[in-house]
Chains A and B, each alone.
Chain A
Amino acid sequence: MYNYKLSKNKILKPTDIRDPEYFHKVVDCQYACPAHTPVPEYIRLIAAERYTEAYMINWESNVFPGVLGRTCDRPCEPACRRGRISDEEEPVAICRLKRVAADNKSEVKHLMPQIPEQKNGKKIALIGGGPASLTVARDLAPLGYEIHLYDEWPAGGGMMRTQIPAFRLPIEVLDEEVNYILNMGVHTHFNHYVSSMREILEKDYDAVFVGTGAPRGRDLKLPGREEADANVHIGIEFLASVAFEHLEKVGKKVIVLGGGNTAMDCCRTSRRLGGEDVKVVVRSPFKDMKASPWEIEDAQREDIPILNNMPPKEFVIEDGKLKGVLFGKVRAEYDENGRRKLIPTGEPDEFIACDDVMIAIGQDNAFPWIERDLGIEFGKWDLPVLDKVSFQSTLPKVFFGGDAAFGPENVITAVAHGHQAAISIHLFCQGDDVMNRPAPMTNLVSQKMGIHEWIYDSPVVDDTRFQVPHEDKVISLKDRKIEVELGFDEALGFKEAQRCLNCDVQTVFTTSSCIECDACMDVCPTSCITFTTNGEEEDLRARLSAPAENLSQSLYVSEALPTTRVMIKDEDVCLHCGLCAERCPTSAWDMQKYLYNVTKAEKCYQ
């Protein structure tokens, strides 16, 4: 007999694949998405030219596929497994594939949920018309709720309309997706700034949802600020004025202060409103900029230099008018904890002349309209005190979501909040405990089609990431409404879709069927599988076929095999190519598609 030593202490327990989160975590993109959109599922549908179905999967999950396919912060992409299988590989262009589905879909109206004519007698107020509120409406209107939506602007969409420039998000795309929801019989109260929560609460609403975002752009109180006021703009206010066509021109020389995505939108918008010499100036090093790398690239492509390590000191005024900005020079030093300090270099200050300045250095929450004696408690940074799961405030009928809940995030996070708040509101209005929340829907189905055939496209292509084609710069800079990105066409979309590794097709192992022939271990291209004696995790991770150094990725551990060894699979760089299952003589390995859906309000009482 084999004589394997078996450590008695702290050996790894067999993996419980019935835990819905185990395989969910393997689908890196879906796990990283705040709304947990089933990414590989819709990418396969795009490859199959089934754009409408791909769109609807997105719509169920993230409500604004056309918007997000252009503007999402895409937390899925840094998580994408493709990006770590070799040094040269980049993630699948998940975000832009979503746009392919939106661009090529056919009519979807008949696929939208039916709105019951007979209402359920409950009334909900949504304050703010952005992505969070619209998501709540999308989830509750089909259940018979009477929805009232209040917004200070003349149209719905919130920051998607006021802060995202039209050259990144055409107004028709936004209108289409906002209208799918407003057409669900939502009572809209536009051009209606809610100035008192008390007034809202005094009306007969059964619940109130606050999705008012983080509407206050930070100002920069430097010498000369007041005198220069006519030519100094707060970034998000500037973008909103442009969106609603209150502002159509800026000076030739523009300085944008700040290094986030709003700063990128401000500088690119300025280029289209007459700005010929537009500069972004950040106070810290280039690499610390908060803007997404692709937005920085897009700005640089439009001839916008980014100057770093230059904190502004003064708005320089001449003859009562802004003449430019004076900047200091610093370098960054980091202590052991990685905390940054900006140290003046001693070089002389630099004056940069300009006609206009945009301040895009961050934004804050602001609730001046919520009276503080209503029972809604506020905590740190003047943010409401909320339950992190239910989004319920200390006044039970009031719920928060989006940037209004925990501070500025992004659209996809606001959508995720909206779905969860809708569940809470539904439970609350039905008199249930808001913590009595439904489990996610999961489904695990074998992809076996024949002896060595799979339903999914298992071969792994070698293509590197495809670039989205852009409109000619000369044309796109002429008009702020001309979209810069042209999107993948169908052919390019197919090729990019084929790069997806299908991480939702799981390698499922059945210990009792395994004869320990090692075939899976031998064939695995990325050395993920090891048969070895069990042990402590740290020890095991070091002695697998390839060391499992990515601690954020799980080890899939089998029960003990007849030789007392265990099968251990490091999920980290598994290509989901299906070769282990193809070379398994007993089908101990099987490729099974795992579908994980966050349960929405509509399923609460089904």
Chain B
Amino acid sequence: MSYIKPTFRHPTLPKNKIGFAKADYEGKISTLCAGCGHDSISASIVQACYEMAVEPHKLAKLSGIGCSSKTPTYFLDNSHGFNSVHGRMPSVTTGAYMANRDLIYLGVSGDGDTASIGMGQFVHAIRRNLNMVYIVMNNGCYGLTKGQDSATADYGSISKAGSKNMFQAIDLAGMALELGATFVGRSFSGDKSQLVPMIKAAISHPGFAFLDVISPCVTFNNNNGSTKSYDFVREHIEATAAIDYVPPKAQISVAYAEGQSAEVKLHDGSSIHLSKLAPHWNPSDRNSAVNRLQAAKTKGEVLTGLLYIDPESQDLHELQNTVGTPLNQMGESELCPGNEALDSINSSFR
């Protein structure tokens, strides 16, 4: 087995606008099972960051425990990273984010790490509208412990061993909508043409951007009867709209049919173009997103694409009116101004 990736890259591949090659965003060679959907998501993250010309030192990747949470080793080798405790990625991210608001936070988690052990942390990160991208690599099983059904396994889905799941699934996207997440999307590891622009839009979004990415476990959950297999997802996939991410100042080259398309402006000047909209769905109307999600569930469809975005999103620092300078760049005298300052604050409440 190869543990080292050859150093040669295609000689004609261009550099991005800050002078980095795609290879500068890559990580170590993956040790996940061959064919794991997670590797495609890692590749999509690499592609998105390369295309957006993210400065590698301006991004922190954080994860919990699980197959999914191993993946930060496999992308963005030149960025900051924190591999935290099982299910505790959101609180570590919260701390990091409070200390330094200038970084891009990319949290990577799995269905076990989020929907079971980390559920309590997950829901509060949404409520607080942390400015982060939260990707769940959702394969519906515990791959690292040989494929037991996870909390996102669909009711009736058949495991590799042949047993039917008798419990209802937690729909993480539906839940995020319910809890007021300001950016909710779902995608599929096998469709990079959708996943890459979604990651870019999520990075641009100022607030909690949640991506539920179905990522087949090729070893334990890619069998007939599984609802998270490559074949099942491909057969049942539907999209709210085709998505296109347009970076700031870029010219729009595609002509969109009127009435069938929508444009969402993001804070950083970029925008999302959505074409071939699903009927009765409006990307910035939470109710229509909830309804559309429920309708798809009833029909047995796997609904992907952008589900909801709040263009007016205000992240935690804005809500709390925190100082613009990241706290970690301040000195002790600014952060702890001493008893006199405390006294004057206290006295102001008297």
Contact = CB atoms under 8 A, between A and B. Distances in A.
- A, B bound: yes
Interface of A: 1-2, 84-87, 89, 451-453, 458-460, 462, 515-519, 521-523, 525-528, 545-547, 549, 562-563, 573, 575, 577-579, 582-586
Interface in B1-20: 1-2, 4-13
Point out which of B7, B235, B237 has the most chain A C-beta atoms below 10 A from its C-beta: B7
B12 A582 contact: no
Contacts of B11: 84-87, 573
Nearest to B10: A546
B6 A582 contact: no
B40 interface: yes
20 contacts: A452-B34, A516-B234, A517-B216, A518-B192, A519-B39, A521-B43, A523-B29, A527-B9, A527-B10, A528-B10, A545-B10, A546-B10, A547-B12, A573-B11, A575-B6, A579-B2, A579-B5, A579-B29, A584-B34, A585-B35
A337 B220 CA distance: 63
B237 A2 contact: yes
Contacts of B218: 515, 517, 585
A89 B9 CA distance: 12
B12 A458 contact: no
Contacts of A582: 1-2, 34
Contacts of B2: 452, 458-459, 577-579, 582
Nearest to A521: B43
A33 B192 CA distance: 42
A578 B192 CA distance: 23
B29 A517 contact: no
Interface in B216-243: 216, 218-219, 222, 230-231, 234-235, 237
A517 B37 CA distance: 7
A573 B10 CA distance: 7
Contacts of B7: 460, 462, 525
B234 A2 contact: yes
Nearest to B4: A459
Contacts of A2: 234, 237
Interface in B175-204: 189-190, 192
A519 B192 CA distance: 12
A583 B8 contact: no
B30 A523 contact: yes
Contacts of A515: 35, 218, 222, 230-231
B234 A562 contact: yes
By Cβ-Cβ distance, the 9 closest A-B pairs, closest first, are A585-B35, A452-B1, A460-B6, A522-B43, A546-B10, A517-B35, A527-B10, A585-B34, A585-B218
A522 B1 contact: no
A398 B261 CA distance: 77
B40 A519 contact: yes
Interface residues of B, number: 35
A556 B235 CA distance: 27
Q: Is the interface of A mostly helix, strand, loop or mixed?
A: loop
B6 A577 contact: yes
A337 B219 CA distance: 60
Contact of A86 (B8, B42, B219, B237): B8
B33 interface: yes
Nearest to A454: B2
B172 interface: no
B36 interface: yes
Given A460-B8, A549-B12, 8 more contacts: A85-B11, A87-B11, A515-B218, A518-B43, A519-B39, A526-B9, A526-B10, A528-B10
Contacts of A546: 10, 12-13
B35 A586 contact: yes
Contacts of A517: 35-37, 40, 189-190, 216, 218, 230
B40 A585 contact: no
Nearest to B191: A2
Given A87-B11, A582-B1, A586-B35, A518 B190 contact: yes
A346 to B, nearest CB: 44
B7 to A, nearest CB: 6
A583 B34 contact: yes
Contact of A526 (B8, B30, B230): B8
Nearest to B23: A525
Point out which of B13, B42, B219, B237 has the most chain A C-beta atoms below 10 A from its C-beta: B13
Point out which of A85, A562, A583 has the most chain B C-beta atoms below 10 A from its C-beta: A583
Contacts of A585: 33-36, 218-219
Given A86-B8, A575-B8, A583 B230 contact: no
A84 B189 CA distance: 33
A328 B231 CA distance: 77
A1 to B, nearest CB: 7
A216 B322 CA distance: 91
B209 to A, nearest CB: 23
Given A583-B35, A584-B35, A516 B190 contact: yes
Contacts of B234: 1-2, 516, 562-563
B30 A583 contact: yes
Contact of A453 (B1, B12, B190): B1
Contacts of B230: 515-517
A525 B37 contact: no
Point out which of B7, B9, B219 has the most chain A C-beta atoms below 10 A from its C-beta: B9
A522 B10 contact: no
A566 B12 CA distance: 23
Interface in B147-171: none
Nearest to A460: B6
A55 B130 CA distance: 68
A231 to B, nearest CB: 52
Nearest to B230: A515
Point out which of A1, A517, A523, A575 has the most chain B C-beta atoms below 10 A from its C-beta: A517
A584 B218 CA distance: 10
Interface in B65-114: none
Contact of B40 (A452, A522, A525): A522
A563 B193 CA distance: 14
A2 B193 CA distance: 12
A336 to B, nearest CB: 27
Nearest to A84: B11
A519 B189 CA distance: 10
Given A453-B1, A563-B234, A573-B11, A519 B34 contact: yes
Contacts of B6: 459-460, 525-526, 575, 577, 579
Nearest to A519: B35
Given A518-B40, A583-B30, A585-B35, A525 B8 contact: yes
B312 to A, nearest CB: 33
